[in-house]
Amino acid sequence: MLHVNGKRIKGAILDMDGVLWRHTDPLCDIPQLFKTFTDNQVKVMMATNNGLHTVDEHIEKFRLFNTKIEPWQIMTSAIATAALLKKHFPNEGPVYIAGEAALIKTLEEFGFHHSEKDAQAVVAGLTKKFTYETIKNTSLAIQKGLPFYFTNPDPTYPSPEGNIPGAGTLLAAIEAASGVKAILAGKPLPFSFEVGMKRLKTKPDETVVVGDRLTTDILGGQEAGCFTALVLSGVSTISDYEAWEPKPNLLLENISELFNQ
Ligand SMILES: [Mg+2]
């Protein structure tokens, strides 16, 4: 059984990039890791701020690593945003959507559709088709008084070319043009972890959040009251860890050490 600070862990919420893999290179024996979770009766799900891909695309990526996962095990920032929107607008309906196909499809699954005329809110996320028109149209709608939702604040994300503009870069442009701060749902907001724990049917003190970024994964896990484990296989370094308070519960070189700490 897996224990953290003497408490039995029943659920784990994992970040993917920098934890399980870097781009297409695995960072551990992924099939073995998932088998170890099962053997220790720990339910697992993944929470990613990457809203560019659908749940099916994430499942396909796991299949390439010879690991079978179920749709409920994937929580993207688009799903977290749609779930938060549904909480605020239980009657669903029209919203102004600026984002990639994955965001549009996810919102549609939650009962929302794009409309410029009778939108109740503006919902935006990272899109590679972002232009001056995107900033203009979203900021004009927000200035009319519509609440503004955005998937996640990560300013950049890693790519083989280096760190490239992420959702937060686009968010900064729309916030600058509209003068309004967005309502966020992805990490480091605790909301996606709260939705995750509902799916896992676990309490915060039975749940461990594993991530490679202190400012999103660990901060969000701590805010949600979960145990946290920082892995050094991704973005945050040992000096970032030393400067961070309060400390994560576990510090691991690699996620495969989780079961032999
Ligand atoms: Mg990561």
Per-residue pLDDT of 123-161, as tens digits, reads 999 999 999 999 999 999 999 999 999 999 988 887 889
| d(CA 220, ligand 1 centre) in Å | 13
| d(CA 215, ligand 1 centre) in Å | 10
Query: What CA–CA distance (Å, rounded) separates 73 from 59?
Result: 9
| d(CA 193, ligand 1 centre) in Å | 15
Q: For residue 261, is pLDDT > 80?
A: no
| d(CA 231, ligand 1 centre) in Å | 9
Arithmetic mean of pLDDT, 85-106: 96
| d(CA 198, ligand 1 centre) in Å | 22
Per-residue model confidence as pLDDT tens digits over 35-90 = 999 999 999 999 999 888 999 999 999 999 999 999 999 999 999 999 999 999 99
Residue type at 76 in one-letter notation: T
| d(CA 248, ligand 1 centre) in Å | 15
Domain 3-49+187-257: give its CATH superfamily.
HAD superfamily/HAD-like (3.40.50.1000)
CATH number of 78-184: 3.40.50.1000
Tokens of 111: 């009962």
Per-residue model confidence as pLDDT tens digits over 5-30 = 999 999 999 999 999 999 889 999 99
Per-residue model confidence as pLDDT tens digits over 161-179 = 988 999 999 999 999 999 9
The reported pLDDT for the residue numbered 70 is 97
The residue extents of the domains of the chain are: 3-49+187-257, 78-184
The reported pLDDT for the residue numbered 106 is 95
Query: What CA–CA distance (Å, rounded) separates 141 from 138?
Result: 5
The reported pLDDT for the residue numbered 157 is 81
Arithmetic mean of pLDDT, 207-224: 96
Average pLDDT over the chain, rounded to an integer: 95
Q: State the number of CA atoms in the 13 A half-sphere of 127 facing the CB.
A: 21
